[in-house]
Amino acid sequence: MPELPEVEVSRLGIAPHVEGRTITKVSIHQGQLRWPVSEQVYELGGKIIESVSRRAKYLLLHTDEGAVILHLGMSGHLRVVPINEPLKKHDHVVFEFDNGLSLRLNDSRRFGACLWQELDSLHSVFSKLGPEPLTDDFDANWLFTKSRNKKQPIKQFLMDNQVVVGVGNIYANESLFKAGINPKREAGKVSLARYQKLTPIIKETLAAAIEQGGTTLKDFAQSDGKPGYFAQQLLVYGRKGQPCVECQSELTEIRLGGRSTVYCKRCQR
């Protein structure tokens, strides 16, 4: 599943091509994604995309009446291509613009979304989200306070979008390794001092992934079709049985919350 850095890279990739442009046509080739495509999306011809923003793993295309909310689901991606380029299989939602380009949401598994948020309102998908990890609202005191009396493993705690958005499986693995914290440790038993070490590591790990183009998963490509470059620098994720880069011990893989979790038994306590 594309994680926060991949979604942010998609935002950076599409924004220069659609911001300030007028939508000339909207084509819905498959209206049933995770939820039905919102009716308002069908009527956006003539509207100008004022800006493109991101909240958690959602992208928002802002107009003067509201915003299109896009979610990539498990296998979705966005492409900016000429209007006359033939459709690909699973190109479900297509926005055409006055500059001769089109923005296409391709989603083979149809777990993505194309919704509508009215101006000056908050869609229900955003109602319970925690802070953005790259903002000042996310800090060690926030994590420490939220974690008190929590018995769930620290890794699952970090992946809870009500605690902090966008710290998905890959980057939770990586951040906990860098901070030396065992992913199985109860969140409520992690000290403030350790959260003070962990929080900047999460921020740095996500920022580095965004800068380097996102981690390429098998179903993900950037909007221009080029793969990301951060995957080659992963320290634990996907490295089960390989030597730890710090102590050379064999890395262990377990399942937490149904997700692959790789860590070093010697370095992470």
Instruction: Answer yes or no: do 152 and 121 share one domain.
Output: no
Q: Give kind and range of the element (H or E) at residue 147.
A: helix 140-147
Asked if residue 33 belongs to a domain, the reply is yes
| Coil, helix or strand at residue 34 | coil
Instruction: Check which CATH number belongs to the domain holding 182 and give it.
Output: 1.10.8.50
Instruction: Answer yes or no: do 118 and 172 share one domain.
Output: no
The answer to whether the beta carbons of residues 228 and 214 sit under 8 Å apart is yes
Instruction: Answer yes or no: do 182 and 243 share one domain.
Output: yes
Active-site option among 21, 197, 203, 259: 259
Instruction: Answer yes or no: do 154 and 104 share one domain.
Output: no
The answer to whether the beta carbons of residues 55 and 76 sit under 8 Å apart is no
- Say which residue the tokens 């109602």 belong to: 127
Active-site option among 55, 57, 104, 155: 57
Would the pTM of this model clear 0.85, i.e. be above it? yes
Q: Give kind and range of the element (H or E) at residue 206.
A: helix 192-211
Residues comprising the binding site? 90, 109, 150
Cα–Cα distance for residue pair 37/44, rounded to 1 Å:
13
| 92, 100, 155, 200, 251 from 20: Cα distances, Å | 23, 13, 40, 35, 49
Cα–Cα distance for residue pair 137/74, rounded to 1 Å:
28
Asked if residue 134 belongs to a domain, the reply is no
Give the number of other CB atoms < 10 A from CB of residue 211: 12
Instruction: Check which CATH number belongs to the domain holding 66 and give it.
Output: 3.20.190.10
Last residue of a domain, one of 76, 91, 126: 126
State the residue range of the domain holding 12: 4-126
Q: In what order do the strands lie in the sheet with 113-118?
A: 51-55, 58-62, 66-71, 113-118
| 3 classed as catalytic | yes
The answer to whether the beta carbons of residues 46 and 120 sit under 8 Å apart is no
| 57 classed as catalytic | yes
Q: Measured in Å, how far apart are the chain's first and last C-alpha atoms?
A: 28
Cα–Cα distance for residue pair 152/149, rounded to 1 Å:
9
- What is the number of domains present in the chain? 2
**What are the phi and psi torsion angles at 198 (to 5°)?**
-70, -40
Asked if residue 56 belongs to a domain, the reply is yes
* Residue 66 CA to its chain's centroid (Å): 22
- Say which residue the tokens 């599943």 belong to: 1
Residues comprising the binding site for DNA? 90, 109, 150
Closest CA to 73 of 131, 17, 3, 14: 3
Instruction: Answer yes or no: do 75 and 177 share one domain.
Output: no
Residue 166, sorted as left (phi over 0), alpha (psi -120 to 50) or beta, turns out to be: left
- Output the tens digit of pLDDT for each of the chain's 269 residues: 678 988 998 998 899 999 999 999 999 999 999 999 999 999 999 999 999 999 999 999 999 999 999 999 988 889 999 999 999 999 999 999 999 999 999 999 999 999 999 999 999 999 999 999 999 999 999 999 999 999 999 999 999 999 999 999 999 999 999 999 999 999 999 999 999 999 999 999 999 988 887 655 455 555 655 555 566 579 999 999 999 999 999 999 999 999 999 999 999 99
